[in-house]
Structures are given as C-alpha cells and as structure tokens.
Amino acid sequence: MVDFEVPEVDYTRYTNRQLAAIPLVVLALALVVIGGYFALTGSPVSLGVAFTGGTELRVATTDSPAAIEQAFDGDVDSVTPVGSDNEYLVTFPPGAENIETQAQSAGYEVISVQERAASFGADAQQQALLGVGAAFIGMSVLVFVLFRTFVPSIAVVASAFSDIVIPLALMNVFGIDLTLGTVAALLMLIGYSVDSDLLLNNHILRRRGEFYESTYRAMRTGVTMTLTSIAAMAVMTVVSTLFGIPLLPEVGLILVFGLSADLMNTYLLNVSLLRYYKYEGIAA
C-alpha cells in the first residue's frame, strides 16, 4: 500500500527571503507571461467563444481536421478533437453564417451549435471581470475582518491572488481559452485557496504552541485537504475528457493548476510571511 504521510519540512534551515523567493519568482514569471500575452493580443488570456462572440460547432465525422477546415466557406478559428469517437469542436469568428447548413451539406452530423453575437461576448467579458473583481475584494475584506492584523491578512490575500494568476498564465502556456467554465474554476480557487490559508493562520496565530509545531500541524491537515481536492479534480479532468463532456475538463484542469500553486504559496510564501510577523513584525 502507498504510504501517505505528510512530510515534516525543516523550515528552520531556510530564511524568510529564501522561502518567499520561490513563489514570488513563479508569480513574477506568471505575470510576465500574462503581460506578454496582453502586449501581443490585447487581452490577458485567450478568450473563448463565450467572450468574443462567434460560433462553436460540435460535429461527428470521419474527416480529418484539415478536411473539416476546408468544408466551410468562411474562416475557421480552430478544429479540436473531443471525446473519443471522431467528434470535433470547430470554432468560427463572429459573423459566420449558415454554419449548420454548411456542416450538414458536408455530411457532418451536427451534435451541438453555440452561437454568440460579438456584443454579447463583450458584455460577458465585462461581467466576468466584474464578478472576479467583486469576489476577490469581498474575500479580502472578509479576511481582514477575520484577522484584523495586516501581515497575516495580506498573506492570505497575496496567496489567493497568486493562486489565480498562476493558472491564468498556465492557460496561456497550454493554450486553454477563457470560458465561462474556467471563470467559475478561477472563482472556486478563491474558496479553496483561502481554506488552507485560514487553517495555517488560525493554527499559528490563534493557538498556543510553538511556531514550527503549529505550522506542521496545519500542514498535515492542509496538505491532505489540498491533495484530496487535487485528486478529485485530476480524476474529473481525465474522465470527463475521455467522455467528451464539455465544461468539466476545463474546470478540473484549472483547479489542478491552482491547487498545486496553492500548495506552494501557502507553505512557502504564507509561512515565511507569518514567521516574519511572529518573530519580527510583532517585536518591532
């Protein structure tokens, strides 16, 4: 049987700077990726049909992706296989017409069509941004109310920020579009991320006991939590991809990215900030 025991990290061997350096470098890299993408395309991540408008068509055919692209008169944005039995997701820019008819006359079986007007997409973009912004601010306010001290609160908020930014950058790296599903996943990350951070802060600040012991206790629980969630989400990603179910793979993958980032952020960035606060911040 696999032995599953959360290892005890000897934090005393590293300085706060050393601990914080890794997550900060990763965060900086992520910001560079997002910034670079923004400079190139004018948006921080590549936007899916839900946000740009356009048509998304799912067809069943034995044709090759190249042949599928040929079958339509207008521009085709992308052709991606889904599921396992010769099904493809074909996306078109806004304004494409008669997509269904063209697909049918090419002999393709139309499984699903989704069409969004460009202005509707722009509206959705604005709302999603508003939603994520409001969620983040709401979370930050609540965290500050709960702890009422600056450093521990900012540690939670910074870690949550990084947990969202890193998956966003990874989306650019892996070519995942921002869809309604991925927005949901990013928001869910706020919840998951704060879970383990609250636990750590709570153990270190609100309990008696020595710093490293408290940290280890929080870690044992927190790492188990995060690993459980990662397991659930990884399995969901794999299974739903195999089945060709929409939405679920994107949600799962983003959460796997974010939860992994959360492990790093919580137990390197957060721990170092809390240790600074506990040993130097209060004394000063």
What is the closest distance, in whole angstroms, from the C-beta atom of residue 107 to another protein in the complex?
16
What is the closest distance, in whole angstroms, from the C-beta atom of residue 283 to another protein in the complex?
26
Give the nearer residue to another protein in terms of CB position, either 25 or 238. 238
Give the nearer residue to another protein in terms of CB position, either 27 or 163. 163
Separation CA 167–CA 173 (nearest Å): 10
Give the nearer residue to another protein in terms of CB position, either 16 or 249. 249
- The residues, ordered by sequence, that sit 6+ positions from 58 with a Cβ below 8 Å of its Cβ are 82, 87, 88, 89, 90, 110, 111, 112, 113
Separation CA 245–CA 262 (nearest Å): 27
Dihedral sign, Cα of residue 129, residue 131, residue 135, residue 138 = positive
What is the closest distance, in whole angstroms, from the C-beta atom of residue 62 to another protein in the complex?
17
**Where does residue 53 rank: exposed (0-12), middle (13-18), buried (19+ CB within 10 A)?**
buried
Give the nearer residue to another protein in terms of CB position, either 27 or 139. 139
Residue 87 in contact with residue 60, Cβ under 8 Å? yes
Q: At what angle do helices 248-264 and 180-205 cross, to 10 degrees?
A: 30
What is the closest distance, in whole angstroms, from the C-beta atom of residue 85 to another protein in the complex?
11
Give the nearer residue to another protein in terms of CB position, either 232 or 263. 232
Q: What are φ and ψ of residue 206, in 5° steps?
A: -105, 0
What is the closest distance, in whole angstroms, from the C-beta atom of residue 113 to another protein in the complex?
5
